[in-house]
Amino acid sequence: MKIADVRAKAFAMPLHDPAYPRPPYKFYNREFFVINYRTDPEVLRELVPEPLEVIGDTVSYEFIRMPDSTGFGDYTETGQVIPVRFKTPSGEVQEGGYVHAMYLDDNAPIAGGRELWGFPKKLASPKFRHEQETLVGTLHYGSVLCVTATMGYKHKELDLSTFSAAMAKPAFMIKIIPHVDGTPRICELVRYYMEDVTLKGAWSGPAALQLFEHAMCDVARLPVREVISASHYIADLTLGLGEVIYDYLAPNTNNI
């Protein structure tokens, strides 16, 4: 294979059999189960990296079912998103979510999510199911139960405009790619948006959330102090590609 051929073909690993296809990725009937809760604000400030700033003392714990996603197939994901703000070089203040932790059960979106955007994805066994009148979410890391979440099924229909505004906000994460000597070669703050969103329904209900300590699955580092609200909604969307907004390794590091 010629050098020019390597450059033309190289968009993902392995070179001859990539773990995922080229983007964009579309999701149909993506189902969200989100519990918003209060936690320890000191821990939030320890975990959220500058130049992001923590907003308040809340966390969103999410379960997401992806039954039909182009390139990635059928899988389930769960994790924590922290409300933050970011000040752009022009002085605009953006509010969004810092993606702190993600656990899922499918290799292609783990590889693609980490390599393209920098999603903090790890392999685990999340489950999101309907049990009679209850939505149930669980996360096992290996054989160990780390999360149990429950919510009453469709107790109250919600205004879709509220969710449209929330889903229009950006999400942020840290993308880290190591050098061959083990030092970081890429360390960037990335921003992305969900695009082409079509909301199909949204509901609220009573909810409960339990997080259990685990050495390698640290969701309990952000303990549940109080459940504030819970929502269940379904949407079609496209996962927009990211953009680098801060380079931690640049000399005299400045916003991009």
Catalytic residue numbers? 121
Record the tokens describing residue 27, joined without a space: 């999701």
Residues 156 and 204 sit within 8 Å (Cβ to Cβ):
yes
Candidates 117, 126, 120, 121; CA nearest to 107 is 121
> Which residues lie below 8 Å from residue 95, measured CB to CB, with a gap of 6+?
55, 83, 84, 85, 169
**Contacts of residue 42, Cβ cutoff 8 Å, sequence gap at least 6:** none
Map residue 177 onto helix, strand or coil: strand
Q: Which of 79, 94, 110, 72 is nearest to 191 (CA)?
A: 94
Q: Which among 186, 189, 185 has a CA at the least distance from the CA of 244?
A: 189
d(CA 76, CA 176): 24
